[in-house]
Amino acid sequence: MTIKGCIFDLDGVIVDTAKYHYIAWRELAHELGFLFTEKDNERLKGVSRMKSLEILLEVGGMSFSESRKKALAEKKNKRYVELINQLTPEDILPGARLFIENLKTKNIKTALGSASKNAMTILNKLEITNLFESIIDGTKVSKAKPDPEVFLKAAQELDLNPEECIVFEDAQAGIEAAKNGKMWAVAVGKPENLSGYNAIISSFSNITFDDIKAKLKI
């Protein structure tokens, strides 16, 4: 099997914006009168904004109308955007840029596959938009991970078959999405938090494409 493309999730893989999501959700919960902990926040990894709000309200034992929920989600997003506008190229996670640049030297196509509707803002702030031949974000998909839609669209835009692609993900829902799409799944994180992947790395520090192929035995 020849690997011809790599598809990257954004949050937790290329940049750590999870902390900004958590700050924004925690502030919203505080305004609503309850505590939202880091443990609670783990349940939000890899899920959509509205689904995240549903989980947050479940934690707080609250229920609102659809219009009220939409307003709350927009309020959270406005705060999150304020926070990510502080990002600079220095915020790219260790080794990520070098790894993607290494792929370019090997003629491996690259894509972003993220549920975030703010992906373009983040990529522009990090100054890495030009590293991706395809960018599929939350504005281009309707189904949340573990549905493979976001990754399948990325592969399609790269003009590749799913089995020719490796997906890099830090969330369980994302790993499942990659597998559901018949792609190779490389987890980025700790083994105790993730399962079902084909290989795992703690970060991109000192990692090359050849290292990944060796881990996948391909």
- In angstroms, the first-to-last Cα distance of the chain is 7
93 CA to centre of own chain:
13
Q: What is the DSSP letter of 109?
A: E
**What local confidence, expressed as pLDDT, does residue 144 receive?**
86
159 lies in which domain range?
Answer: 5-15+89-216
Same-domain pairing of 104 and 59: no
Q: Is 105 exposed, middle or buried (0-12, 13-18, 19+ CB in 10 A)?
A: exposed
The pLDDT confidence band at residue 47, using thresholds 50, 70 and 90, is: confident
Contact present, 13 and 96 (Cβ < 8 Å): yes
Percent of the chain surpassing pLDDT 70: 100
pLDDT tens, residue by residue, 70-118: 999 999 999 999 999 999 999 999 999 999 999 999 999 999 999 888 9
Q: CA triplet 187, 189, 192: central angle to 5 degrees?
A: 95
Q: Which are the catalytic amino acids?
A: 9, 11
**What local confidence, expressed as pLDDT, does residue 45 receive?**
78
Entry pTM: 0.86
Same-domain pairing of 180 and 167: yes
Same-domain pairing of 46 and 134: no
> Phi first, then psi: what are they for 165, rounded to 5°?
-120, 145
**What local confidence, expressed as pLDDT, does residue 48 receive?**
80
Q: How many domains, in total, are found in the chain? A: 2
pLDDT tens, residue by residue, 164-188: 999 999 999 999 999 999 999 999 9
Same-domain pairing of 101 and 184: yes
CATH number of domain containing 39: 1.10.150.240
pLDDT tens, residue by residue, 24-35: 999 999 999 999
Average pLDDT, the chain: 95
Q: Which residue shows structure tokens 């702030």?
A: 125
Same-domain pairing of 158 and 130: yes
Same-domain pairing of 60 and 160: no
